[in-house]
Amino acid sequence: MILNRLEYKQGQADHTLFIKSMVEGKNAILIVYVDDIIVTDDDLQEIKNLKKQLKTKFEMKDLGVMRYFLGVEVGRSKEGLFISQRKYTLNLLKEIGMLACKLADTPLEKGWNVEEKEDTLVEKERYQSLVGRLIYLSLTRPDIAYGVSVISQYMHSPTQKHINAVFHVLRYLKGMPGKGLMFKKINERRIECFVDTNWAGSCEDNRSTSSYYTKLWSNVVTWRSKKQSVVARSCAKAKFCAITQGICEVISLERMMKDLGISLSQPTEVYSDSKSAISIVKNPIQHNRMKHIRINRSFIKKEIEEGGISLSYIPTTDQVANVFTKAVARPEFKLLIGELRMTCIYSST
């Protein structure tokens, strides 16, 4: 392969990532997605050489400094890098005739899924298409993560209630289609992860919703909201499962940093608002009787003992990951989303 010949090594955490280490700690980085490529480097001459070599093997078009990539818009300022999907959002709203719709304050109304009654089915193909596009949009919009997680659970038999929830998410997006994430420059190199769970929050099957979000260099980089696959019989065990998922995510980020040759200045901090879940990690006698708990606990304990990860308690009032586990009222939603440092660099639409 041409990249191997040019001394680029494939990343172990992300196989679409290729890195070339050079003198003085400089790196050349290439990311491939099907037939789209991003190249960045500390040395402009290396970028020119890489482009030249690739053009000998492939038909390529150089689009210059990245401003738009796979539906994601990229902006730059003295503060850092800003990404959003404003154009993608506006195109979606235009296609379904919602550019002039009434705005919503939150992605989902608080307690919308509490009501249980028979409802009429709606066109499945249209529902799946809309939800699929919202899933892609959530790549830069952590504020809609929980709402999209909920509506994506009804792909096979959506009802009028579910399609109304989809439209509610779209009405929320219309309020600020250009909202996105700012990645600011900072010298402190550390990873933080916040995990939370809404125990037995689903009225349909009593399963819990786990969530986490991670901060790299104090910037939000990954997040997840997902219903657990089994019913947890206690809140502590549900939150323990969320801790396990969060630690798996930070291990993946740590491996990516290692691929890039970046050392972390401090151990990765994982925060949970459950003292009971944290005690499961520290108490082998009480919880090792259940195999799945024993396996996960051994995995977490090993990572903590090696010094790369620290598990800490955080008060529930400071747990921002709560916004990924359930629909909350407007005041709480605005407060929690504000902590994610989402912003908009565009004028109001």
Predicted confidence (pLDDT) at residue 283 exceeds the cutoff of 80: no
Domains, the chain, with CATH or none? 2-64 (no CATH), 84-178 (no CATH), 188-339 (3.30.420.10)
Give the pLDDT score at 287: 52
Taking the C-alpha atoms of residue 38 and residue 192, their distance in angstroms, rounded to an integer, is 27
Say what the pLDDT of residue 300 is: 74
Percent over 90 (pLDDT), the chain: 53
Q: What is the DSSP letter of 51?
A: H
Q: In this predicted structure, which of 92-96, 153-157, 229-233 has the lowest mean pLDDT?
A: 229-233
Which comes out higher in pLDDT, residue 141 or 77? 141
The lowest-confidence range among 142-146, 294-298, 329-333 is 294-298
In this prediction, residues 138-163 reach a mean pLDDT of: 94
Compute CA distances 4 → 10, 18, 63, whole Å: 8, 9, 24
Q: Residue 347: its pLDDT value, please?
A: 57
Contact (CB, 8 A) for 28 and 47 = yes
When mean pLDDT is compared over 118-122, 159-163, 336-340, the highest value belongs to: 159-163
* Whole-number Å distance between alpha carbons of 126 and 132: 10
pLDDT at 85 over 70: yes
| Mean pLDDT calculated for residue range 59-85 | 90
Per-residue model confidence (pLDDT) at position 349: 46
pLDDT at 117 over 90: no
Average pLDDT over residues 124-151: 96
Tens-digit pLDDT profile for residues 252-275:
999 999 888 888 878 899 999 999
Question: Is residue 210 within 8 Å of residue 238, measured between CB atoms?
Answer: yes
Q: Quick: pLDDT tens for 35-56.
A: 899 998 888 888 888 888 888 8
Higher pLDDT, 228 or 286: 228
Structure confidence by residue, pLDDT tens digits, 196-241: 999 988 888 889 999 999 999 899 999 999 999 888 888 988 998 8
Point out which residues pair with 75 in neighbouring strands.
82
Contacts with 238 (C-beta within 8 Å, 6 or more apart), sequence order: 197, 199, 200, 208, 210, 228, 232
pLDDT given for residue 289 in this prediction: 47
Q: Sorting pLDDT into bands at 50, 70 and 90, what band is 78?
A: confident
Alpha helices in 77-209 (DSSP H): 86-95, 124-137, 145-151, 160-175
